[in-house]
Structure 1
């Protein structure tokens, strides 16, 4: 029977570098590098398929930095999705990003509890939405109504797109066994 381990024990693909393929230099020049100047492991791994990486980056850029949600709401959704998907890389990276957006260490721990954590009403709703999308691939009528009472239609669509994107990302990360980047703490 298949293993229940969430991720391979070692990376299945060695991250690529810009000089591995002429198409990668242009992609990596777009700011896909970590503090040491080398591409983050997610991008180096996805660079095994440069066309996929290039096309996915358009959508990923929207969900990470161009959507209509606040940074805090976006990061809470991504963290819960990373936790639900047991994605070490996704959760670890977004602990770092989330803390830059004002999410505290205590709130990171609350994310692991989902809606049961000590959230405000609207933050609890974010946890419920992330859980419903993870479990059912849709929002219930009750959750949709509550979200549209608090958020615009664009924001609700961005919420669904953000959770969906990071669910996809978790599948890619977990399947390829992407290693944590240097300096990213292990939380899973």
Structure 2
């Protein structure tokens, strides 16, 4: 159960009801602070709709963050989004598990392996190592590299928000956790 109430559009001032155009539990909780919800949505919106970073690479990185941090909410949401909208396959998601547990044996190409490693390094070490950075720098342009780093950092923050506010996974995302279970 969340630590703050899940609001509905009727709970909000008319000028803030657009905050719940996608009424997922995270947005319904963040709407308790409309200004913060709007700011959160601005960066999240840019990551999803404004960045030129390849969407598949972005989703691989976010799924890696969710997997490594054991964030059921983030992981289930981005497994679904990745598969349904952004070219991530079921095998990719299983391979992320292998990549995480075996440190590089997921079978991904070099750039995708570096994206996943960058996400792991940012979660565990708070930075991207020099070798990983060099591989990323050789594989994507500077704007996309910055977008990747900011995306990973943003989702490292998102998982902490989700955990601290105890945001519930919605019923329609729960099957994704059955198909792609997180480690105990």
Q: Which residue number in structure 1 is paired with residue 114 of structure 2?
A: 125
Q: Quote the offset at 1:13 in angstroms.
A: 2.3
Matched with 2:89 is 104
Larger relative contact order (Cα-Cα within 8 Å, sequence gap ≥ 6): 1
**Alpha-carbon shift at residue 139 of structure 1 (Å):** 1.3
Match of 1:150 in 2: 139
Runs of 4+ off more than 3 Å: none
| d(CA) in 2 for partners of 1:44, 1:74 | 24
Take 1:24 and 1:87, find their aligned partners in 2: how far apart are those partners? 28
Whether the 8 Å contact between 1:11 and 1:176 is mirrored in structure 2 is yes
Are positions 1:20 and 2:4 aligned together?
Answer: no
Q: Does 1:55 align with 2:39?
A: yes
- Structure 1: gaps spanning 5 or more residues: 1-9, 33-38
> Which of the numbers 154, 169, 183 marks the counterpart of 1:165?
154
**CA RMSD between the two structures:** 1.4
Secondary structure at 1:116 match in 2: coil
Q: How many residues in Structure 1 have an aligned counterpart in Structure 2?
A: 171
Q: Show structure 2 runs of 5+ residues with no match.
A: none
Q: 1:56 Cα deviation (Å)?
A: 1.3
Q: Is the 8 A contact 2:19 2:27 kept in 1?
A: no
* Aligned with residue 94 of structure 1, among 78, 84, 91: 78
Contact 2:56–2:87, Cα closer than 8 Å, also in 1: yes
Shift of 1:165: 0.8
1:102 is displaced (CA, Å) by 2.0
Q: Of 27, 40, 56, which aligns to 1:72?
A: 56
CA distance in 1, matches of 2:32, 2:125: 31
